[in-house]
Amino acid sequence: MPDPGPSPLQSSLPAAVASFGAHVLASALAVGVEPAAGAGPVEPSPPPPPALPTGPPVLTPVPVPVPVPDEGAAAAAAQPSAALERILRGPSGLGTASLHWARSDAPAAPVPAGPAGAPDAPAPAAGHPIPGLYHHPVPEPDPVQVEELSRRIKAWALDEVSLYPEDWEDQFDGFSVGRYMVACHPDAPSIDHLMLATRLMVAENAVDDCYCEDHGGSPVGLGGRLLLAHTALDPLHTTKEYAPDWEASLLSDAPRRAYRSAMEYFLQATTPSQADRFRHDMARLHMGYLAEGAWAQTEYVPEVWEYLAMRQFNNFRPCPTITDSVGGYELPADLHAQPAMQRVIALAGNATTIVNDLYSYTKELASPGRHLNLPVVIAEREGCSDQDAYLKAVEVHNDLMRDFETAAAELALACPVPTVQRFLRGVAVWVDGNHYWHQTNTYRYSLPDFW
């Protein structure tokens, strides 16, 4: 990995960010951290529900310990380096030990296969980072949590939503969604909270695979399928005559069963504005799938900027933006909607998604037809070799990562509200966990021979 260089936390506070809506800041400081869902012991899987379950158990709200900055905005602005460094280091006060933030100061190094040094440390997963890719390594996810989450998500997939036929089991296991979600949400207070993210991740991939890609997907008719599936997240309000047909449709294929069930659990554990934020992000995602499908259908290779615009929508964004729901607290809607926060979220989503383009490059080259990803589009549109295009795509990713970190650091400094600080760290940790999962998922991804 290249030297990450000076921390973005060293950057000075631009006037535009310093003026981050004073009224919003004042109201947010009054709001503080509102738990949306609570910690609890690891629960066994709920019994299989009837065809249309009445709803999962509500997570009991309990306060989540979050450090409150001990200095105001003025003091933080006066000492930007120290204040921002503290934010990115994460909580250290009394009662914060369980918030074991993933980012470490350790220099990045390829993760070797084989047993870990410490006797009780989890064995490092296999896989090498892409040479030159700017990223932050994370500690190995807790194997006990991974095992329990993996057990529970498989039970949900099989018993509650009949997600896949028997012969897809290897692919489901190889996806390693339990390891993915534990790495991305180290501050989740319970397995129940992790399950919120894990069900949605599985459901989102089921829709992508079955409607868009290699498990029967096609651009033909995609708009209709996606819209009807979207009603599992954003329900149809219609007349008595037509409602039963719509309800039955939500059980009629695996993607819709998965969306419907995952959303039902999510609704039980979150506030209406968190749920609506998620719906909006999913509408963005579906619009991105449609643009990708339309270009595949007409065999259009977009310009690089057009591709990046499509990939900003066909994007991991719905995953990091539920970090507060999974953490058991809420980032208030008016703070989430601020342009500075929206820029941070978009840059994080874009960096994580280009990580996918880079790690899935060889898989997509081997798939039938031409699968667009950033290196493929750069090679075609800028007339360079596959290798040069790939290396340029790494640089695009690195620029996005640095811009994300700078924007997040500036916002953290401008808005010393506990929920904002925690949300920004949650997004940053999701970015790092996402890289970890791509790097270590050697079942799914392998690197090209460019170095």
Listed ranges 99-107, 352-360, 397-405, 414-422: which one lies at the site for ligand LYHC5SXD (CB under 6 A): 352-360
By CB under 6 A, is residue 208 in contact with ligand LYHC5SXD?
A: yes
- The least CB distance from residue 208 to Mg ion, in Å, is 10
By CB under 6 A, is residue 319 in contact with ligand LYHC5SXD?
A: yes
- Residue 438 to residue 176: CA distance in whole angstroms: 10
- Residue 135 to residue 32: CA distance in whole angstroms: 31
> Cβ closer to ligand LYHC5SXD: 133 or 285?
285
Of 356-375, binders to Mg ion (CB under 5 A) are 356, 360
> How would you class 305 by CB atoms within 10 Å of its CB: exposed for 0-12, middle for 13-18, buried for 19 or more?
exposed
Q: How far is CA 404 from the centre of its chain?
A: 14
By CB under 5 A, is residue 270 in contact with Mg ion?
A: no
By CB under 6 A, is residue 315 in contact with ligand LYHC5SXD?
A: yes
Rg over CA atoms, the chain: 22
Binding partner at 323 among ligand LYHC5SXD, Mg ion, none, C-beta below 5 to 8 Å by kind:
none
Binding test (CB under 6 A) with ligand LYHC5SXD, winner from 176, 274, 338, 353: 353
Whether the Cβ atoms of residue 126 and residue 436 lie closer than 8 Å to each other: no
- Rounded to 10 degrees, what is the CA torsion of 335, 337, 341, 346? 150
Of 187-206, binders to ligand LYHC5SXD (CB under 6 A) are 201, 204-205
- The least CB distance from residue 323 to ligand LYHC5SXD, in Å, is 14
C-alpha distance from residue 187 to each of 65, 202, 245, 383, 429 (Å): 10, 20, 41, 45, 9
Binding test (CB under 6 A) with ligand LYHC5SXD, winner from 178, 302, 318, 327: 318
DSSP states along 206-232: HHIIIIISTTT--STTHHHHHHHHHTT
List phi, psi (to 5°) of 324: -75, -40
By CB under 6 A, is residue 164 in contact with ligand LYHC5SXD?
A: no
Q: Which residues contact 333 (CB under 8 A, 6 or more apart)?
A: 273, 276, 277
By CB under 6 A, is residue 433 in contact with ligand LYHC5SXD?
A: no
Of 268-287, binders to ligand LYHC5SXD (CB under 6 A) are 285
> Cβ closer to ligand LYHC5SXD: 28 or 285?
285
Closest of 366, 361, 355 to residue 379, by C-alpha:
361
Residue 34's DSSP bridge partners are 330
Whether the Cβ atoms of residue 202 and residue 46 lie closer than 8 Å to each other: no
Binding test (CB under 6 A) with ligand LYHC5SXD, winner from 360, 419, 421, 434: 360
Listed ranges 22-30, 60-68, 337-345, 351-359: which one lies at the site for Mg ion (CB under 5 A): 351-359
Structure tokens at 345: 């979220």
By CB under 6 A, is residue 436 in contact with ligand LYHC5SXD?
A: no
Residue nearest to ligand LYHC5SXD (CB): 360
The residues of the shown chain that bind ligand LYHC5SXD, judged by CB under 6 A, are 201, 204-205, 208, 285, 314-316, 318-319, 353, 356, 360
The residues of the shown chain that bind Mg ion, judged by CB under 5 A, are 356, 360
